[in-house]
A and B are shown apart, each in its own frame.
Chain A
Amino acid sequence: MDILANYGSTLVIFAAIVGFIMAWGIGANDVANAMGTSVGSKALTIKQAIIIAMIFEFAGAYLAGGEVTSTIRKGIIDSSFYIDTPELLVFGMISALLAAGTWLLIASYMGWPVSTTHSIVGAIVGFSAIGVGVHTVDWGSVGGIVGSWIITPLIAGVFSFVIFNSAQKLIFDTDNPLDSAKKWVPLYMFLAGFVLSLVTIKKGLKHIGLNIGSAEGYMYAIGVAILVAVIGKFFISRLKFKESKNRRANYINVEKVFAVLMVITACGMAFAHGSNDVANAIGPLAAVVSIVGNDGEIASKAALAWWILPLGGIGIVAGLALFGHRVMKTIGTGITHLTPSRGFAAELAAACTVVVASGTGLPISTTQTLVGAVLGVGMARGIAAINLGVVRNIVVSWVVTLPVGAGLSIMFYWMIKGAFM
């Protein structure tokens, strides 16, 4: 107890710094995954993608990031075991942040695709199970989280398969694809706007003091969705097409319409990513802050301190602004056949899956969901070639991340514990 009383503010500041660095790493590392398809299909330039990512990642983190944060804080470990020794939980959370941040740095340097969600979950489980005791981990919910990593890509795959096929039926396989595109694309815009705003309204706005009833929430979401669709329609009407009898030119025009839609789904993707992944950085920080703030009492329902979400949001944006550019550059334009009509299906499916799953509070992996969505489009015969070898590598690196994150966090935990006790 004395430790928290004597060193409380030091610990909070330390946790805040490490959490900020972690958010920074998430911004720098994951942006390529969240925005890559938009840049790859040339719907956005790198600069535009960075600007969109900055605005919407922050919005997502701030407006809808609260829900997952509490799961990371409470769901993985059974905090009742720490009631007598809250300082251990504080040390553990700080070491989890350090471990995940370190692993993220190493992996980025080596060019391995890792999931920030996996590394933080692995790290929390690691220090708690080995450093304190196997019984302190709520294995049931860990199982649920790991299960969700398998289920969410599947769901995203099914979504993208359905979305892509619907676009094929409604737009491409018609007498005049361009007219069909002008007619139907605003509907997809509506869908994207609706899902994102609904989840934000239902799950996210409590902590900024807005409580909206459910009927009202639907109304607002529909309002926002209509607004999005109208704006999209306006931009589509301003497109200039080279009219021609040639079918091929017609498809190029259709893709132009989809590029407008892709801008919207990219916003959605950034929003989804921000809302889901900010928790990886600030969940443990929130735990530290609430324990120290309550003089060692582990509150079962602690409100997030007001400065925590913005800190995570700013961290992500800072990482984006400073390093995102370099990561985006490596994307290049070497992707053949990733057209906006494919990218939109994958992005919309992934964004919806992430946002809905975040609404349930499960920490899911954005990258994984997106890979699932891309495979879904591939299954619908929409992508010329998918490199299953790379998919396998990504999966392997995910699996490796758990034990590595756990190992690192155990190491840091013993170090910190030794330093203070």
Chain B
Amino acid sequence: MSGNTILGVFAKSPLKPLEQHIRKVNECADLLPSFFVACTAGDWDKAEKIRKDISSLERAADTMKRDIRNELPGGIFMPVQRTDVLELVSQQDKIANKAKDISGRILGRKLVIPAELSDDFNSYLTRCIDAIKQAADAINELDDLLETGFRGREVKLVEKMIIELASIEDDTDFMQIKLRRALMAIEEGMNPVDVMFLYQIIEWVGDLADLAERVGARLEIMLAR
């Protein structure tokens, strides 16, 4: 009951939930390396368990996304555009979905990354997850951005973070090209269907970094207004 006071004027801030959401998404993608370790070791039970965790984190992120949408009815006046907030949260959510898809596909086909690619693949995966972490760090600046009225130094700092994110994404592109080549070199002796799926997994892991970069881009658009 803040009906008869001035305080009803203050609505729930969407910025904090946005930060919490990307942290949850980051947590979800962070399970992928251990998932691949379990797969490479042939420990399918453990992989199954990790996949369950990924799935439940993805569901939690989904719930958060829905809450953010529901708590932004029309007539909320914010320092950032309402549409930008909604776009950003969908974009963030796609990362978790992608992580879930990757683990699901691998487990479903009991797909193992060939030993020849294993080192390259692991560093590629790590780099893509770095991109997600960088996006999460940038989003977590929203608090301080609000503190400084979305102006000045803080904005420049976030823009620097976004540039850094783009360069991480660049790295992953090169690594992806290298991985494809390496796979092409050994694909002769493998099950063709598995090879097709491996290509797809490589691409999906790359998508993680792409999506993270898009989160950064959305944040940039948000600040540009």
Contact = CB atoms under 8 A, between A and B. Distances in A.
Looking at chain B's contact residues, the main secondary structure is loop
A338 B146 CA distance: 11
A130 interface: no
Given A37-B6, A168-B148, A383-B10, A111 B75 contact: no
A413 interface: no
A172 B9 CA distance: 25
Contacts of A378: 77, 79
A172 B143 CA distance: 13
Interface in B121-148: 143-144, 146-148
A393 B149 CA distance: 27
A386 to B, nearest CB: 4
B5 A381 contact: no
Given A247-B144, A251-B147, A385-B76, A336 B9 contact: no
Contact of A383 (B8, B14, B79): B79
Contacts of A380: 149
A114 interface: yes
Given A168-B148, A381-B150, A337 B13 contact: yes
B149 A381 contact: yes
Contacts of B154: 172-173
Given A173-B148, A381-B149, A387 B143 contact: no
Interface string A379-418: 0111111111111111000000000000000000000000
A334 B153 CA distance: 30
B160 interface: no
Interface string A19-32: 00000000001001
Contact of A330 (B2, B10, B73, B144): B2
A327 interface: yes
A331 B10 contact: no
A33 B9 contact: no
Contacts of B12: 336, 385
A173 B7 contact: no
Given A33-B5, A335-B7, A384 B146 contact: yes
Interface string A291-314: 000000000000000000000000
B151 interface: yes
Binding site secondary structure of chain A: helix
B9 A330 contact: no
B83 interface: no
Given A330-B1, A331-B2, A390 B8 contact: yes
Contacts of A381: 79, 146, 149-151
A113 interface: yes
A394 B9 contact: yes
Nearest to A174: B153
B184 interface: no
B189 interface: no
A112 B3 contact: yes
B9 A374 contact: yes
B142 to A, nearest CB: 9
A165 B14 contact: no
B192 interface: no
A181 to B, nearest CB: 12
B76 A387 contact: yes
A108 B4 CA distance: 7
Given A111-B1, A113-B4, A172 B76 contact: no
A367 interface: yes
A361 B2 CA distance: 31
A107 interface: yes
A37 to B, nearest CB: 7
A193 to B, nearest CB: 24
A339 B6 contact: no
B79 A32 contact: no
Interface centre among A110, A384, A394 (most CB of B within 10 A): A384
B108 interface: no
A242 interface: no
13 contacts: A107-B4, A168-B148, A172-B149, A173-B152, A247-B144, A335-B10, A336-B10, A338-B10, A380-B149, A381-B151, A385-B14, A387-B75, A394-B9
Given A32-B6, A387-B77, A389-B73, 11 more contacts: A112-B3, A113-B6, A114-B4, A168-B152, A330-B5, A334-B2, A336-B10, A371-B6, A382-B146, A383-B10, A384-B78
Top 4 A-B pairs ranked by shortest CB distance?
A384-B13, A173-B152, A381-B79, A111-B3
